[in-house]
Structure 1
Amino acid sequence: MEISPQPPVSPMLAKAVPAVPEPGSVSGGLGYEPKWDGFRAIVFFDGKDVEIGSRGSKALTRYFPELVEAFTRLLPGPCVLDGEIVARTGAPGAERLDWEVLTQRIHPAESRIRKLAAETPAMFVAFDLLGDAGGSWLDRSFRERRARLEALAGGLGHPVHLSQLTTDAELARRWLVEFEGAGLDGVVAKPLDALYTPGKRVMLKAKHHRTADVVVLGYRVHASGSGVGSLLLGLYDRDGALQNVGGASAFTDKRRKELVTELAPLVVRDESGDAVHGETDRSRFSSGKDTSFVRLEPTRVAEVRYDQMEGSRFRHTVQFDRWRPDRDARSCTFDQLERPVAYDLSDVMV
Structure 2
Amino acid sequence: MPGPSLFSAPIDPMLAKIAEALPDGDGFLFEPKWDGFRAIVFRSADGVVIQSRDLKSLNRYFPELEKVLAEQLPKGCIVDGEVVVVGPQGLDFDALQQRIHPAASRVARLAKETPAGFVAFDLLAAGGKPVMNLPQHERRERLERLLGQIKPPLYLTPVTTDRALAQDWLQRFEGAGLDGVVAKPADAPYQPAKRAMFKIKHARTADCVVAGFRWYKDTDDAVGSLLLGLYNDAGVLQHVGVTSSFTMAVRRELAQELAPLRENAMADHPWRDWAQASAGDADRMPGAKSRWSGGKDLSWEPLRPERVCEVKYDHLQGDRFRHATTFLRWRPDKPAQDCRYDQLEVATPFELKQVFKTA
Q: Normalising by the residue count of structure 1, what TM-score does the alignment of the two structures yield?
A: 0.64
Change in Cα spacing, 1:133 to 1:209, as seen in structure 2 (3 Å) is same
2:170 is aligned, of 176, 182, 200, to 176
Q: 1:2: which partner in 2?
A: 5
For residue 22 of structure 1, the aligned residue among 17, 21, 24 is 24
Residue by residue, what CA displacement relative to the aligned partner does 1:117-156 show, whole Å, maximum 9, x if unpaired? Answer: 1011111000001112241111110011111111111231
Look up the match of 1:230.
213
For 1:180-329, what aligned pairs fall within 5 Å after superposition?
180-209=174-203, 229-232=212-215, 246-250=225-229, 251=239, 253=271, 257-258=276-277, 259-262=286-289, 266=295, 303-307=323-327
- 1:56-67 equivalent positions in 2, closer than 5 A: 56-67=54-65
Partner of 1:103 in structure 2? 97
Hey, what's the Cα distance between the residues in 2 that align with 1:60 and 1:232? Answer: 33
**8 Å contact from structure 2 (residues 6, 130) kept in 1:** no
SS of alignment partner, residue 120 of structure 2: strand
Q: Are 1:45 and 2:43 an aligned pair?
A: yes
- Residues 68-83 of structure 1 mapped to structure 2, 5 A cutoff: 68-83=66-81
Whether the aligned pair in 1 keeps the contact of 2:276 and 2:287 (CA below 8 Å) is: yes
CA distance in 1, matches of 2:326, 2:162: 30
Aligned length: 248
Question: In 1, are the aligned partners of 2:214 and 2:224 still within 8 Å (CA)?
Answer: no
Equivalence for 2:256: none
- Cα offset for 1:39? 0.4
Match for 2:179: what amino acid? Answer: D
C-alpha contact (below 8 Å) 1:154/1:161 kept by paired residues:
no
Partner Cα separation in structure 1 for residue 128 and residue 7 of structure 2: 14
In the other structure, the counterpart of 1:13 is 15
Q: Which amino acid aligns with 1:246?
A: S
Structure 1: tracts of 5 or more residues without a match: 212-221, 224-228, 235-242, 269-274, 280-301, 310-350
Task: Name 1:216's counterpart in structure 2.
Answer: none
1:157-187 Cα deviation digits (max 9, x unpaired): 0111100000000000000000000000100
Is 1:166 aligned to 2:164, yes or no? no
Return the offset for 1:232: 4.7
> What is the DSSP-based 3-state SS (H/G/I as helix, E as strand, rest coil) of the residue aligned with 2:38?
strand
Distance 1:246 1:58 in 2: 29
Structure 1 distance, partners of 2:14, 2:115, is 26
* One-letter code aligned to 2:295: L
* 1:248 to 1:278, Cα distance in 2 relative to 1, 3 A: closer
1:187, 1:206 within 8 Å by CA — same for their partners in 2?
A: yes
Instruction: Give, in angstroms, the shift of residue 231 of structure 1.
Output: 3.8
Identity of aligned residues (%): 44
Provide the rounded CA distance (Å) in 2 between the counterparts of 1:2 and 1:120: 35
Three-state SS of the structure 1 residue aligned to 2:7 is coil
Q: Look up the equivalent residue of 2:24 and give its one-letter code.
A: E
RMSD of aligned Cα (Å): 3.1
Deviations 1:314-338 (A, max 9, x none): xxxxxxxxxxxxxxxxxxxxxxxxx
- Counterpart CA distance in 2 for 1:255 and 1:166 is 47
Contact 1:6 1:51 in 2 (8 A): no
Cα distance in 1 between the residues matched to 2:300 and 2:168: 48
Q: Is the 8 A contact 2:37 2:82 kept in 1?
A: yes
1:278 CA drift (Å) = 12
CA pair 145-245 structure 1, distance change in 2 beyond 3 A: farther
Structure 1 pair 255/138, CA: closer, same or farther in 2 (3 Å)? farther
Is the aligned partner of 1:156 residue 2:150?
Answer: yes
User: Residues 134 and 19 from structure 1, CA distance in 2 versus in 1: closer, same or farther, beyond 3 angstroms?
Assistant: same
Q: What is the identity, as a one-letter code, of the residue corresponding to 2:7?
A: S
Q: 1:121 to 1:267 in 2, by over 3 A?
A: closer
Q: Is 1:87 aligned to 2:85, yes or no?
A: yes
CA distance in 1, matches of 2:294, 2:6: 37
Q: Which 5+ residue runs of structure 2 have no aligned equivalent?
A: 230-238, 240-269, 278-285, 302-321, 330-359
Offset of 1:306 from its aligned partner? 1.6
- Check 1:267–1:177 CA distance in 2 against 1; reply closer, same or farther (3 A cut): closer
Task: Quote the offset at 1:209 in angstroms.
Answer: 2.8
Shift of the 151–267 alpha-carbon distance from structure 1 to 2, 3 Å rule, reads closer
Q: Which amino acid aligns with 1:30?
A: F
1:210–1:307 Cα contact (<8 Å) kept? no
- Give CA deviations for 1:260-285 in whole Å, capped at 9, x if unaligned: 341698367xxxxxx9x999xxxxxx
Which residue does the alignment assign to 2:131? 137
Distance change (3 Å), C-alpha of 1:210 and 1:62:
farther
- TM-score w.r.t. the length of structure 2 is 0.62
Structure 1 Cα separation of the partners of residues 175 and 324 of structure 2: 20
What is the one-letter code of the residue matched to 1:262? K
